């Protein structure tokens, strides 16, 4: 299978967590799959991801090649347990990996694309870094803001977007999908230049 790489959206599985801040990665992947279906006129190819504990698809991005898309079903803290076996099985390198995740240190509506760096307390990223043995993969960070009290971080990320945030995120997630497609078509460096200089 000739692959350009792996796109992973992070989140927690199950209806309880649907639409929560921590599931921004899942939400972006779902929109990406819909966009690809519209663009190609057919549904993304669903693959069996049971051995990796992930939902898995193969997609064609026009002008951007063939990509695997995954939503780990391990719960956030063990995301690396899904990602690392996927990378190994398909013989992908860290610089072929794009992880989409929520980011407390960015205000809602802000997107940042980067390679490497600290996990900054994000347990999903920490798990992937530990399992891969490197932080040198690409990350699309989706701002979800943070609570005034740091003791409230867990209920914050596991909580649903409030009304003003919900409106912002409805506009932000399509931009996140555009960033992913740009990453695939134009390459990481050009995508970073565009995404990180775009106004909110």
Rounded Cα gap, residues 4 and 87, in angstroms? 12
Rounded Cα gap, residues 42 and 35, in angstroms? 10
Please, are residues 50 and 185 in contact by the beta-carbon 8 Å criterion? no
Q: Which helix (H) or strand (E) holds 54?
A: strand 54-61
Query: Active-site residue 22, yes or no?
Result: yes
Considering 22, 101, 122, 160, which one is annotated as catalytic? 22
Instruction: Return the bridge partners of 58, or none.
Output: 45, 68
Please, are residues 99 and 84 in contact by the beta-carbon 8 Å criterion? no
CA distances from 146 to 100, 127, 158 (A): 18, 21, 12
Q: 10-33: b or e for each residue (b if 16 or more CB lie within 10 Å)?
A: bbbbeeebeebbbbbbbbbbbbbb
Catalytic residues: 22
């Amino acid at each position: 299978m000739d692959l350009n790489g792996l796109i992973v959206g992070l989140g927690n599985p199950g209806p309880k967590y649907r639409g929560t801040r921590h599931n921004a990665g899942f939400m972006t992947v779902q929109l990406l799959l819909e966009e690809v279906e519209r663009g190609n006129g057919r549904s993304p190819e669903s693959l069996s991801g049971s051995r990796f504990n992930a939902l898995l698809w193969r997609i064609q991005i026009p002008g951007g090649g063939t990509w695997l898309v995954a939503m780990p079903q391990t719960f956030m803290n063990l995301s690396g347990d899904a990602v690392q076996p996927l990378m190994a099985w398909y013989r992908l390198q860290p610089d072929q990996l794009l992880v989409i995740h929520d980011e407390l240190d960015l205000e809602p509506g802000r997107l940042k694309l980067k390679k490497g760096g600290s996990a900054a307390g994000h347990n999903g990223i920490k798990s992937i870094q530990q399992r891969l043995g490197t932080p040198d993969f690409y990350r699309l960070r989706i701002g979800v803001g943070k609570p005034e009290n740091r003791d409230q971080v867990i209920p914050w990320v596991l909580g649903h977007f409030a009304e003003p945030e919900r409106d912002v995120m409805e506009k932000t997630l399509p931009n996140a999908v555009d960033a992913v497609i740009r990453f695939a078509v134009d390459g990481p460096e050009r995508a970073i230049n565009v995404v990180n200089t775009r106004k909110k």
